[in-house]
Amino acid sequence: MTVLARVSELLDSQQINLFIGYTQKGSICPLFLKESDQVDKLIFNEDCLQNLVPYLNKHEVQSFGKIGIFCTFSALRSLLQLKSEKRFSNLSIIPFLVISDDEFVEFGSYEEIESYIEKNFKKGDDNVQEMIDKINLMSTEEKWEFWTNELTGCIKCYACRSACPMCYCDKCSVEINNPQWVPTASHSQGNLEWHVMRAMHLAGRCVNCNECFRACPMDIPLNLLTSKINADMEVAFGQIPGTKLKLDYAMSCYKFDDKDNFIR
Residue 131 burial (C-beta neighbours within 10 Å; 0-12, 13-18, 19+):
middle
Q: Based on the shown chain and the rule CB under 6 A, indicate whether residue 202 belongs to the binding site for ligand SF4.
A: yes
59 interface partner picked from ligand SF4, another protein, none, CB below 5 to 8 A per type:
another protein
Distances (CA, A) of 251 to 164, 228, 258: 19, 16, 12
Q: Based on the shown chain and the rule CB under 6 A, indicate whether residue 215 belongs to the binding site for ligand SF4.
A: yes
C-beta of 80 vs 207, nearer to ligand SF4 = 207
User: Looking at 1, 29, 99, 155, which residue binds ligand SF4 (CB under 6 A)?
Assistant: 155
C-beta of 10 vs 220, nearer to another protein = 220
Residue 249 C-beta: closest distance to another protein, Å: 25
Max distance between CA atoms of the chain, in angstroms, equals: 61
- Those residues with Cβ within 8 angstroms of residue 255's Cβ, 6 or more apart along the chain or in another chain: none
C-beta of 170 vs 260, nearer to another protein = 170
Alpha helices in the chain (DSSP H): 3-12, 59-62, 73-84, 110-120, 126-136, 140-152, 159-163, 188-201, 211-215, 223-237
C-beta of 19 vs 147, nearer to ligand SF4 = 147
26 interface partner picked from another protein, ligand SF4, none, CB below 5 to 8 A per type:
another protein
Q: Based on the shown chain and the rule CB under 6 A, indicate whether residue 210 belongs to the binding site for ligand SF4.
A: yes
First-last CA distance in the chain: 55
Prior bond to 179 cis, omega within 30?
yes
28 interface partner picked from another protein, ligand SF4, none, CB below 5 to 8 A per type:
another protein
Q: Based on the shown chain and the rule CB under 6 A, indicate whether residue 209 belongs to the binding site for ligand SF4.
A: yes
Instruction: Identify how many contiguous H helices and E strands the chain contains and give both numbers.
Output: 10, 5
CA distance 27 to 30: 10
Residues interacting with another protein, by CB under 8 A? 25-30, 32, 50, 54-55, 58-61, 155-159, 161-163, 175, 180, 183-187, 190, 211, 214-215, 217-219
Binding site for ligand SF4 (CB under 6 A): 154-160, 164-166, 202, 206-212, 215-218, 220, 222-223, 226
